[in-house]
Structure 1
Amino acid sequence: MEQEARPDPITEAALRSLKDIAVPQPVSWIPQTWGWMALALILLAAILLWALVLYRRWRRNAYRREALRLLDEIADDFRRQQTRDGAGARLGELLKRTALAAWPRKTIAAMSGTDWIDFLSANQGSDIGESLKSYLNDLEYRSGATPSADATNDLLRDARRWIERHHVSA
């Protein structure tokens, strides 16, 4: 058998006196200067402010989303023969309720006829559409008036456009 080589005593003493390598601390990911920290805080504040603005806008437009949902129900009522007669009155009521949600009651509640139509046109920024104008005039004097199928599509399109685009000043 082969004999195992034994290191000399000086080498053994030297090996025993060795210590592990000292590993440095890991490099931190935190920015080392205050400028980067300040920039990060400003960026975080800007993102939070932007999120707050979007949330407030979303909350402020809740009445529009509700009105559009009700408009879809009214459109379904116009398509069904059984509920077609009542859908026209509900459309006028929906426009008035939408306006009441956005403007003071004193301003909206007393409006009717051409004043109401002029108000709707003025706050959309453009004309509200001939079909909606004529229907609102007819609705005031002939409450049982039911538009034709073609006129119904134009009427619902104009009502949807007003609900989506009307401007409420601050």
Structure 2
Amino acid sequence: MSDGIENLHPQGITPLTSGLMEPSLPEPISWIPDAPGWWVVIGLLAAYVIYQLVRLYRHYQRNAYRRAAIKALSEIGLNSDQVAMIPLLIRRTALYAYPREDVAPLVGQSWEEWLDARCPGSDFSVKHAGLLSRLAYSHQVDESQQQLLSLREAVAFWIKHHEVAQ
């Protein structure tokens, strides 16, 4: 008798399942928002990201002189001919960052104090008192290599960290 049933209902279709149909799948959910409020949120978010990118780019461009000065400082050696370029380099950097009227008339101790006032943590007027002037105006360098290395580190610190009013 079982052979007869298999012949009457081929491929497992029975009278009870013959009228059933395979259910259709729902449409996939769209990632595009329908509500206008979401478009406003997306627009504001895009505007904020663009603003931050522009701000970051401008900051990068404003600090190009710092990168150039650090590169020039790294190329200066510690022999007597080249260390005379250190005071010139820090003066050029200051002239680029600040108005000429503020920087140009400064010499000696007033120059060192001005440098210290523009960069918290620098110590030109204490630790390196008179060294910039001696290097700038003297052809004979009497300082030790350690003093010159310390000065170069102080100049690099000032170049990287001086504060400029935007």
CA distance in 2, matches of 1:124, 1:154: 16
CA distance in 2, matches of 1:132, 1:52: 39
Q: CA deviation at 1:102?
A: 0.5
The residue correspondences of 1:11-160 to structure 2 (distance < 5 A) are 27-74=29-76, 77-78=77-78, 84-129=79-124, 130-139=126-135, 142-160=138-156
The C-alpha deviation readout for 1:39-60, integer Å capped at 9, x for no partner, is 1111111011001111111000
The C-alpha deviation readout for 1:92-129, integer Å capped at 9, x for no partner, is 00000000110111221221111211110110123424
TM-score, with structure 2 as normaliser: 0.77
What code does the residue aligned with 1:166 have?
H
CA distance in 1, matches of 2:98, 2:140: 28
Gaps of 5+ in 1: 1-20, 79-83
- Partner residue of 1:161? 157
CA distance in 2, matches of 1:25, 1:156: 68
TM-score, with structure 1 as normaliser: 0.75
Contact 1:63/1:98 (8 A) holds in 2: yes
Gaps of 5+ in 2: 1-22
2:34 alignment partner, SS class: coil
1:30 alignment partner, SS class: coil
Contact 1:123/1:166 (8 A) holds in 2: yes
Contact 2:88/2:136 (8 A) holds in 1: no
Q: Percent identity?
A: 32
Query: Which range is displaced more, 115-124 or 138-147?
Result: 138-147
Q: CA deviation at 1:32?
A: 1.1
Give the number of the structure whose residues are more often helix, by fraction: 1
CA distance in 2, matches of 1:149, 1:86: 14
Aligned length: 148
CA distance in 1, matches of 2:146, 2:112: 21
